Amino acid sequence: MTVRDTIVLDDPVSTFEEQAAPATRVRGYWQSVLYRLRHDPVTLVFAAIVLLIVLAAIFAPYLVPFDPYKEGIAGRLKPFGWRGHLLGTDELGRDVLSRLLYGGRVSLVMGVVPVLVATLIGGLLGVVGGFAGGRINTVIMRTMDVFYAFPSVLLAVAIAGAMGGGMANGMLALTMVFIPPMCRVAETATTQVRALDFIEAARASGAGTATIIRYHVLGNVLGPVFIYASSLVSVSILLASGLSFLGLGVRPPVADWGLMLSTLRQSIYVVPLVCAAPGVAIFITSICCNLVSDGLRAAMDVRM
């Protein structure tokens, strides 16, 4: 070994560079959320089931083995597998599997649309009331408290019954039921964010109210609102099915899971498995949506 080699090896700068640890990459918030979701097999499995249900409903016209509205009195109330009817036939001889696929379209629409509309309206009212405070907050929240005085199921039945039933009126009733809780969640989150130091710093820097809400408040409020809205989808599906079961939602001959339960309940002692099929579809969809919502809440680290 030469003297020059010895000098290079003894160079403190070279030794430090060789021993320095590689820099770790810091994940952003949404990257962390995706990382947690990718490592949560339970959420991924149930999210895949929900995706399959949605795809089956969307492509129902290409998947149904029979016309869901074609009646055949000679083939009514047949068991599983009868002449190609995998899930049997209903009280009018219509294929149950075909009606389940078509009914999924209606049930999913009635489960998602009211939640989306309620999130927009209730979230807006909650953010305005929470950020403004004072009398505006009092007026908005006391109005929401009036709706809290009634159970959600009874309120939905009362509103749908007063408006005469039907799919549109049923979705309107569900929307009115979901607005108060969405408003409450948004108002609570906004009130907490409003008291933080960076909001005061934004005010001191001369930022206007609209700018503060847009760039500082919404980013911190959307997380809890989104998680709560996702948990309401399963509730909306159950309530929509209940309205149809009572005759206050979708009307015959439109295929809907709740309406199918209502029309098949009188034949439960004849073909019990066929009659249970719509209930099983409601149960699987609701429980999967709930578990996906729980997984999203854990991944987004939202405490409600």
* 20 pLDDT above the threshold of 60: no
Q: How many helices (H) and strands (E) does the chain have?
A: 14, 0
Residue 30's contacts (CB-CB under 8 Å, 6 or more residues apart) are none
111 phi and psi, to 5 degrees?
A: -90, -30
Residue 176 DSSP class: H
List domains and CATH numbers for the chain.
Answer: 28-300 (1.10.3720.10)
The length of the chain in residues reads 304
Q: Which of 276, 255, 281, 266 is nearest to 106 (CA)?
A: 255
Asked if residues 128 and 136 have their Cβ atoms less than 8 Å apart, the reply is: yes
| Least confident window among 30-39, 41-50, 154-163, 265-274 | 30-39
Mean pLDDT of 205-232: 87
User: Is the confidence at residue 24, as pLDDT, over 60?
Assistant: no
pLDDT one-digit tens code per residue, 63-101 = 999 999 998 888 889 989 898 889 999 989 999 999 999
d(CA 99, CA 88): 11
